[in-house]
Amino acid sequence: MNLYEALRMAANGLLANRTRSALTMLGILIGVTAVILLVAVGNGASVQINNQVQSLGANVIYVYPANARGSGGVSQGFGTAQSLTQADVDALNTRQQDPDVVAAIPIAQSGGQITYGNQNYFAPTTGTTPAFPQVRNYQVAEGSFFTDDDVTARHRVVVLGQTVVDNLFAGTDPIGQTIKISRQSFRVIGVFAQKGGSGLGSQDNVVVAPITAVWAYLTGARGKVISQIVASASSAGTVTQAETEITTILLNRHQISDPTQADFQLQSQQDILNQATSIATALTLVLGAIAGISLVVGGIGIMNIMLVTVTERTREIGIRKAIGARRRDILVQFLIEAMVLSGLGGALGIAMEAPKIPAIASSSFPTPVVSPTSVVLAFCVSVAIGLFFGIYPANRAARLHPIEALRYE
Amino acid sequence: MITLEGVTKTYRMGRIEVPALQGIDLYIGRGDFVAIMGASGSGKSTLMNIIGCLDVPTSGRYILDDTDVARLADDQLARIRNKKIGFVFQSYNLIPRTTALHNVEMPLIYAGEGGRSARAREALVSVGLADRVNHQPTELSGGQQQRAAIARALVTNPAILLADEPTGNLDTNSSVEIMRLLTRLNAEQSRTIVLITHEQDIARFASRVVELRDGRIVRDERSAA
């Protein structure tokens, strides 16, 4: 029996009970639709998270102080030691044999009420050096960033993120205006271009000033504390080498021979990206699994209908056996029928998928990303489901005894 | 051609064994037209199932064209049914929602033979259904359905045509038509025909009558004609 004949028989069998076939297909159709759609949404979320993390700079490496240990070795928490100094930053910037580190900047964080006229707003103030835009991947949209001279002279100048501008300056040009941070006056010399992105802490909610000015006027008694060093590798691919180089330089400078005793810790954007990616992958998997359940339910529907079909057509099976059909012939006939049912349902599900994507894209969901592999996979899986759930009914048909099947009313 | 030697068949109904055939010796030669008669429960259906290779005997030998089919496996039996036996049933047993042509093609599909359409058409012409080729069973009268079934039985050019009460569901006119067709096939093509019936009128068309009672042959005679 060739494939053409088998397909013809399957079509005949399915057309005999149109409504029933259509409803059974609907089960698979919904399953396939759900799989493709939910996986697309999961992928979309994954891409969005990725983009957001990338916008922070994919080649960025953070150096934090290690957890300080109190008496008895009790950890006082992440980054509580004060082991990073400006000298460390300088060492990283004047390195000889670390071609993979492009620039390193110190960061001193300070919180504080920001006021302008009668407006007030809260944003963290970051003290740093002129390499900040390069390392953290910011563009200055208006005005300019501060210079080395500003740092040396402890000039009280700031560059603002878009969110801060929106909250303090309703329509007026912020450049040249003076704002107050913790009652200290600072002059606005530049505004960053919008970076976008939400969740994960907006990157537009920033106030950046020379680190010396922050130390002198804002951190007060705490002195010249560097809460972290941010370094950038030459590219995303060299992050690992750059991390090794930074570790070597800092261990040398801090005179620590055992790397496990280091008084600092590194985290690359890649690490954050990996974490985010693994979360997004888990999300996609969970969504896919939920959708997969509906596919399995559809498969059980097929098995159910195929069992009914086999019972209904017992006599036909008897006739076919009497005129010479072997077990295999009957098995193949019903298997193909089940596979056509599920494959067609899968194909229709894919066809009905296309118009839905833009509708979802326009809603507040992350833009769904349909991967061609998931479409091909969904189709193959739907056919495989027909095969899997068709085996039991088809086998039952193939095993029928011809005489009993012929007598069946 | 068909040789049965000491064939018995015992069915098991729970714990009771029911003997359906109790030692049948029968020889049917090529071109013979045999009617097997008997009341219901005489074992004639069981005998037909065994001759038709739908079932195997409990003991004894059944030689069909030099092959001992008594001990063959299911798929081998299916092959023999396909090649050597043409079935004609009381209730026609055409496959529903399938044209006469495709029904007749069916045994050739399972045989994996070529030129199916032409051969099926030829078989339908030979039973006088040239103008009903593309009709479905529901669009055919009982007599026409039975003729399509005969065409299906003939299309593989089998050694035996096995007809189980072929006129049981037909009116007298159609019955006579079908029996004339069988007689003609036997006379013109020397087809071996085994006819199972309980009607004396129908058995009269055959050239030899075998009568069963309680699983044994009680009469085996050739008619004068």
Flag if B110 and A322 touch (Cβ within 8 Å): no
Q: What pLDDT sits at residue A3? A: 82
User: Tens digit of pLDDT for each residue in A311-360?
Assistant: 999 999 999 999 999 999 999 999 999 999 999 999 998 888 777 776 66
A307 and A196 within one domain: no
Task: Specify if A8 maps to a domain.
Answer: yes
The arithmetic mean of pLDDT across residues A55-71, rounded, is: 74
The arithmetic mean of pLDDT across residues A70-76, rounded, is: 55
A327 and A230 within one domain: no
Total beta-carbon pairs less than 8 A apart between chain A and chain B: 62
A301 and A256 within one domain: no
Of B223 and B185, the one with more pLDDT: B185
User: Tens digit of pLDDT for each residue in B13-48?
Assistant: 888 888 999 999 999 999 999 999 998 889 998 999
Q: What pLDDT sits at residue A65? A: 87
Nearest to A323 among B75, B81, B112 (CB): B81
A145 is in which domain, residue-wise? 84-262
Q: Domains (ranges, CATH) in chain B?
A: 33-57+82-222 (3.40.50.300)
Residue B11 has pLDDT above 80, yes or no: yes
A246 and A287 within one domain: no
Residue A144 has pLDDT above 70, yes or no: yes
Q: What is the mean pLDDT of chain A?
A: 85
Instruction: Tell me the CA distances in angstroms from A298 to A32, A33, A348, A389, one per residue in order.
Output: 9, 12, 14, 10
Of A232 and A366, the one with more pLDDT: A232
Find chain A residues with C-beta within 8 A of B89's C-beta. Answer: 406
A239 and A365 within one domain: no
Flag if B87 and A16 touch (Cβ within 8 Å): no
Task: Specify if A78 maps to a domain.
Answer: no
The two structure tokens encoding residue A42: 């999961």
pLDDT cut 70: percent of chain B above it: 99
Residue A369 has pLDDT above 90, yes or no: no
How far away is chain A from the Cα of B152, in angstroms, using its nearest Cα?
Answer: 9
pLDDT-derived band at B150 (thresholds 50, 70, 90) equals very high
Task: Specify if A346 maps to a domain.
Answer: yes
A395 and A351 within one domain: yes
Residue A381 has pLDDT above 70, yes or no: yes
Nearest to B106 among A318, A323, A328 (CB): A323
Of A311 and A13, the one with more pLDDT: A311
Lowest mean pLDDT among A64-78, B70-84, B173-187: A64-78
Task: Specify if A69 maps to a domain.
Answer: no
User: Tens digit of pLDDT for each residue in A18-35?
Assistant: 999 999 999 999 888 888
Flag if B54 and A402 touch (Cβ within 8 Å): yes
Flag if B78 and A325 touch (Cβ within 8 Å): yes
How many domains does chain A contain in total?
2
User: Tens digit of pLDDT for each residue in A263-272?
Assistant: 888 888 778 7
**What ipTM describes this predicted complex?**
0.94
A293 and A353 within one domain: yes
Flag if A324 and B54 touch (Cβ within 8 Å): no
Task: Specify if A7 maps to a domain.
Answer: yes
Task: Specify if A334 maps to a domain.
Answer: yes
Residue A112 has pLDDT above 90, yes or no: no
A20 and A94 within one domain: no
User: Tens digit of pLDDT for each residue in B66-104?
Assistant: 888 888 888 999 999 999 999 999 999 999 989 999 999
Residue of B nearest to A318 (CA): B93
Find chain A residues with C-beta within 8 A of B83's C-beta. Answer: 324
A177 and A154 within one domain: yes
The arithmetic mean of pLDDT across residues A118-138, rounded, is: 89
Answer yes or no: pTM beyond 0.90: no
Flag if B110 and A320 touch (Cβ within 8 Å): yes
Last residue of a domain, one of A239, A262, A285: A262
CA distance B104 to A167: 85
Find chain B residues with C-beta within 8 A of A12's C-beta. Answer: 97-98
A300 and A254 within one domain: no
Nearest to A322 among B75, B87, B94 (CB): B87
User: Tens digit of pLDDT for each residue in A210-225?
Assistant: 999 998 888 876 677 8
Bridge partner residues of B17 (DSSP): B12
